[in-house]
Amino acid sequence: MIEAVVFDLDGILLDSEHVWDEVRRQLAEERGGRWNENASRDMMGMSSLEWSRYMHDVVGLTEEPEEISAEVVRRLEDRYRRELPLIAGAEQAVERIAERWPLALASSSNRELIDLVLESSGLGRYFQASVSSEEVARGKPSPDVFLQAALRLGAEPTRCAAVEDSENGILAAKAAGMRTIAIPNPQYPPHDDALAAADAVLATIEDLAPAVVESD
């Protein structure tokens, strides 16, 4: 029996994966980095500590990872304040699920971005807890952020459902023992084996309903 639901942010509630890509790619080009074709997929799901280190070590930015992370967050905050890329139907889906279960957010975004999105979108009223992967030891596909979300809700992970879009997110939720509902991002589709691991696969967030969340 499901007792709580944990949502991802980027790719589930926000159409923002491409915004992250644009900002990090632009920063790499400005600072003489070497952006590679695998960079976007490599960094998906990483915590800020992990992806900023990747930008330093692999992409080749000379600034310290902490400086890289701070600059990317600053640029994203500016973009979000000008136009928040909320996915159509996301608010209604969250409201439907919140009527039935307590909710948490488990995101790879930095804490500043999570708080900004929850406040500016008005979605914050639906979530009892939120966790950034920078607040746990390891980012996705490790289960840490989902386990912490369940802990903050006071729920057993195996009695939680998770809503995810990315390969690393799906694998992280499954590793936490949660019922995993995948809503694949068509721009960054998960591999087939990750989708096969999900308990349910939906076409859009608009298809998310209590009946889907309930365990079989």
Angle between helices 167-175 and 144-153 (to 10 degrees): 60
Mean pLDDT over 114-120 rounds to 97
Mean pLDDT over 197-204 rounds to 97
**DSSP label at 10?**
B
Mean pLDDT over 1-13 rounds to 97
Mean pLDDT value across the chain: 95
Give the model confidence (pLDDT) of 176-193 as tens digits. 999 999 999 888 889 999
Task: Please say if the pLDDT value at position 216 is more than 80.
Answer: no
pLDDT at position 196: 96
Delimiting residues of CATH 1.10.150 domain(s) in the chain? 17-82
Q: How many CB atoms lie within 10 A of CB 117?
A: 26
Q: Which residues of 176-186 are buried (b: 16+ CB within 10 A; e: fewer)?
A: bbbbbbbbbbe
Delimiting residues of CATH 3.40.50.1000 domain(s) in the chain? 4-15+85-213
Mean pLDDT over 146-173 rounds to 97
Mean pLDDT over 130-139 rounds to 94
Give the model confidence (pLDDT) of 57-99 as tens digits. 999 999 999 999 999 999 999 999 999 999 999 999 999 999 9
Residues 208, 163 contacting (CB under 8 angstroms): yes
Closest CA to 117 of 91, 151, 137, 138: 91
pLDDT at position 62: 95
Whole-structure pTM value: 0.92
pLDDT > 90 fraction of the chain, expressed in percent and rounded: 90
Give the model confidence (pLDDT) of 24-50 as tens digits. 999 999 999 999 888 988 898 788 889
The CATH number of domain 4-15+85-213, selected from 3.40.50.1000, 3.10.310.10, 3.40.50.2300, 3.30.70.520: 3.40.50.1000
Both tokens assigned to 112: 């500043």
Question: Model confidence at 118, in pLDDT bands (50, 70, 90)?
Answer: very high
Architecture per CATH, 17-82? Orthogonal Bundle (1.10)
